[in-house]
């Protein structure tokens, strides 16, 4: 288990991470979210042991993360660290050896991964000759070459097209199924909702939303009703528990305090003409994020 306990870090006057704690268990995919400058990269650097926290502790399976456990860790840094003058094979041999892998093992795993990422033909090409997306694939392949127990991915999807995002996701999910702990950062909510169960959202280094997504949604309580009917939206706005009614092309989105309000809205709407849609949905994580971050900014 990865345990991040009460870490804080300042750069001079700037408090980049403020008393952050979370755990990631084997098989879990954990999302570290936040706007630019929220403290995601600083958190990763502390986890990887590249930066010392001013306070708090990070442990992997009960032990401090240092040189002795680097063979268990894989990471994709935000700066991207490709040795662009080398060929794909040469770079993997270099990084694989640093992780304590034998040459045979590296080459076997590299062949498998190049095949999975559909770039077998680039094995002996210099990295600088590859497109940005393919360079990113090589960076990712390098990070997972040693089948790490802990995989850290700083903005892994930046610059990828939707097809490649799917390829990356598939691989990440498979690694989690095999028991890796995966932690990744992003500012795109849709990447999180699809395959991540647990998150923390940082705002100026401080967690503003955290835990299992299902719990977060349940606690948030607010729901949205999407309906189509010939009805005046002002009539719906008057129902107690209705927060807002928004007109969207051919339907209305009714924001309500909680699911307790659904019946009251239905009672009013069912009398309207041409009722063809009445769907209750949970708010998206993005909606909760905007609400929470907005709240936190206002304070
Ligand atoms: P982004 O999404 O833009 O990469 P981030 O969430 O990764 O942002 P960090 O890079 O961790 O955020 O930065 C957190 C805060 O610390 C920011 O205010 C940033 O300006 C500051 N900061 C980061 N690195 C340094 C440094 N080396 N010296 C001084 N301040 C720094």
Q: Which residues contact 215 (CB under 8 A, 6 or more apart)?
A: none
| Among 66, 33, 29, 32, residue whose Cα is nearest residue 48 | 66
Q: Is the CB of 130 under 6 A from ligand 1?
A: no
Pocket perturbation via mutation, ligand 1, pick of 7, 17, 34, 38 by most ligand atoms within 8 A of CB: 38
Q: Of 30-34, 132-136, 205-209, 260-264, which has the strongest mean pLDDT?
A: 260-264
Euclidean distance between CA atoms 177 and 197, whole angstroms: 13
List the chain domain ranges.
2-214, 223-282
Average pLDDT, the chain: 90
**Total Cβ atoms within 10 A of residue 164:** 18
Q: How far is the first Cα of the chain from the last one, in angstroms, to the nearest whole number?
A: 35
Q: Which residues contact 135 (CB under 8 A, 6 or more apart)?
A: 80, 82, 84, 127
Fold agreement between 2-214 and 223-282: no
The DSSP bridge partners found for residue 199 are 31, 211
Closest-CA residue, ligand 1 atom 15, reads: 16
Q: Which atom of ligand 1 is nearest to the CA of 187?
A: 2
Render pLDDT for 128-172 as a digit per residue (tens, 0 to 9). 898 888 888 999 999 999 999 999 999 888 878 888 888 999 999
Closest-CA residue, ligand 1 atom 17, reads: 37
Under 8 Å between Cβ of 81 and 64: no
Render pLDDT for 201-258 as a digit per residue (tens, 0 to 9). 888 889 988 999 989 888 888 999 999 999 999 999 999 999 999 999 899 999 999 9
**Whole-model pTM?**
0.83
Q: Is the CB of 11 under 6 A from ligand 1?
A: yes
Q: How far is the CA of 260 from the centre of ligand 1 (A)?
A: 42
Euclidean distance between CA atoms 15 and 175, whole angstroms: 34
Beta strands 206-212 and 2-11, pairing class: unpaired
- 283 DSSP 8-state letter: P
Closest-CA residue, ligand 1 atom 27, reads: 11
Q: How far is the CA of 14 from the centre of ligand 1 (A)?
A: 9
Place of tokens 């706005």: 237
Reading the block at residue 283, the tokens are 């708010």
Closest-CA residue, ligand 1 atom 8, reads: 37
Q: Which atom of ligand 1 is nearest to the CA of 17?
A: 14
Q: Which atom of ligand 1 is nearest to the CA of 34?
A: 6
Q: How far is the CA of 143 from the centre of ligand 1 (A)?
A: 23
Euclidean distance between CA atoms 224 and 222, whole angstroms: 7
CATH number of 2-214: 3.40.50.300
Tell which CATH classification among 3.30.470, 3.40.50, 3.30.565, 3.30.70 matches the domain 223-282: 3.30.70
Q: Is the CB of 135 under 6 A from ligand 1?
A: no
Euclidean distance between CA atoms 29 and 24, whole angstroms: 8
pLDDT of residue 36: 81
Q: How far is the CA of 205 from the centre of ligand 1 (A)?
A: 9
- 162 DSSP 8-state letter: H
Question: What stretches of 234-286 adopt beta strand conformation (E)?
Answer: 242-248, 251-256, 273-281
């Amino acid at each position: 288990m990865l345990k991040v306990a009460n870490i804080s870090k300042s750069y001079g006057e700037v408090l980049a991470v403020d008393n952050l704690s979370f755990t990631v268990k084997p098989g879990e995919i954990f999302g570290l979210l936040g706007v630019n400058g929220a403290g995601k990269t600083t958190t990763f650097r502390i986890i990887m042991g590249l930066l010392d926290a001013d306070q708090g502790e990070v442990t992997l399976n009960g032990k401090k993360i240092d040189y002795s456990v680097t063979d268990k860790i894989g990471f994709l840094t935000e700066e991207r660290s490709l040795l662009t003058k080398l060929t794909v094979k040469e770079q993997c041999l270099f990084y694989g050896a640093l992780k304590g892998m034998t040459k045979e093992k590296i080459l076997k795993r590299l062949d498998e991964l190049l095949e999975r990422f559909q770039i077998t033909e680039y094995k002996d090409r210099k990295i600088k000759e590859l497109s940005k997306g393919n360079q990113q694939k090589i960076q990712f392949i390098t990070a997972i070459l040693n089948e790490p127990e802990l995989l850290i991915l700083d903005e892994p999807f930046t610059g990828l097209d939707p097809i490649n995002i799917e390829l990356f996701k598939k691989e990440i999910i498979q690694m989690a199924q095999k028991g890796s702990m995966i932690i990744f950062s992003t500012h795109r909510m849709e990447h999180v909702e699809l395959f991540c169960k647990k998150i923390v959202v940082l705002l100026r280094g401080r967690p503003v939303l955290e835990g299992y997504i299902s719990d977060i949604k349940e606690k948030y309580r607010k729901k949205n009703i999407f309906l189509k009917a010939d009805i005046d939206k002002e009539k719906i706005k008057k129902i107690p528990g209705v927060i807002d009614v928004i007109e969207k092309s051919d339907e209305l989105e009714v924001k309500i305090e909680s699911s307790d309000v659904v019946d009251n809205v239905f009672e009013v709407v069912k009398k309207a003409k041409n009722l063809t849609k009445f769907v209750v949905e949970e708010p998206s994580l993005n909606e909760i994020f905007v609400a929470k971050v907005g709240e936190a900014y206002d304070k």
